Amino acid sequence: RAMMHQDIESILYDQAAIQQVTAKLGKQVTADYQGKNPLVICVLKGAVLFMADLVRQIDTHLEMDFMDVSSYGNSTVSSGEVKIVKDVNTQIAGRDVLIVEDIVDTGRTLHYLVDLFKYRQAKSVKICTLLDKPATRVVPVQVDYAGFKVPDAFLVGYGLDYAERYRNLPYIGILKSAVYQLKQ
């Protein structure tokens, strides 16, 4: 069992829980995308660990690409603007796109990306997120595959950061409020 980092209040989802839900999502995606050769797009950086585990649970041909979109910077609150830091290298037109995210919060990032890939004439655009935080949604987003519905707490680990830290934790935990209050 992983030792808890001193900045973590409590562990919400441990490695076993993440593995179990990822296997379930992988089965659903496998069934839905048979013969479609989906383009699975990881939203950097937060989704990188989930992407790596999810694709190993998908049993169809697929292609992977990576897009870096950032809206938070080093703050705990969304700035509201989405910027492309790195675009995909793959032609989107005619492709079945599956966007892989770590968390949907305000929905701004995914709303922007879904619009972008539709504008680029994807055949279909779906979303697979490990975590969904519906309480903080500002922009509507249709989440097709979601691992866990999460409470409105500051979550870190398994790709999720605070000021670029904690992405490497193997579990998802609640950050102690003293950590971000100190640095603001």
Q: Which is nearer to ligand PRP, 92 or 110 (CB)?
A: 110
Closest distance between ligand PRP and the C-beta of residue 40, in Å?
Answer: 16
Q: In the set 26, 38, 46, 147, which binds Mn ion (CB under 5 A)?
A: 46
Measured CA distances, 20 to 67, 77, 130, 143, 147 (Å): 26, 30, 11, 19, 9
46 near ligand PRP (CB under 6 A): yes
42 near ligand PRP (CB under 6 A): no
148 near ligand PRP (CB under 6 A): no
106 near ligand PRP (CB under 6 A): yes
147 near ligand PRP (CB under 6 A): no
The residue whose two tokens read 């080093």 is 74
Residue facing ligand PRP at closest CB distance: 46
C-alpha 59/C-alpha 54 separation (Å) is 10
43 near ligand PRP (CB under 6 A): yes
CB under 5 A: which stretch of 83-91, 103-111, 129-137, 158-166 binds Mg ion? 158-166
Mind telling me the catalytic residues? 105
What is the binding site for Mg ion (CB under 5 A)?
Answer: 72, 161
What is the binding site for ligand PRP (CB under 6 A)?
Answer: 43-46, 70-72, 78, 101-109, 161
